[in-house]
Amino acid sequence: MDELAGTDLVSLGKRVVYCGNPVHKKNPGDFGLTPPSGPRPGKTLCDIANIFEKAVASRLLQEGARRGLVSRQFQGEWPQNIWAVNDDGTALEAQLENRDTGAYHGYPLLPTDPFVELVTEQWRARQP
């Protein structure tokens, strides 16, 4: 999560798209997923982060990009991962789903993951 020289983070934040993934949903909310939900054992669920609206997930994804909470690894013009923190303090990770469209799906990080502390710290430090 270093500063990315030459990367227009504002532009990146405007172009990333949240698509979701049914394996991370118990309650499909308004995500329009097919199948509507299909939680898989071992996958963290967006439900535990209280994210049931696609607009909320999209806003967090875009804000994470604008704040520069993106991985160093890029697939074409898109970072492989983008991180954010929701209003209740849950650290989230989005993973590139489609490198042609810049579409991502996301999920909460496990509270026991040591990376949560770094994501949360950087989210606060990079407030607009």
DSSP reduced 3-state for 119: helix
Beta bridge partners of 70: 82
- Give the pair of three-digit tokens for residue 42: 């071992």
Tell me the per-residue pLDDT of 104-119, one tens digit each, with 9 for 90 and over. 999 999 989 999 999 9
Tell me the per-residue pLDDT of 8-20, one tens digit each, with 9 for 90 and over. 999 999 999 998 7
- CA dihedral (40, 46, 50, 51) positive or negative: negative
Task: Give the predicted TM-score (pTM) of the model.
Answer: 0.85
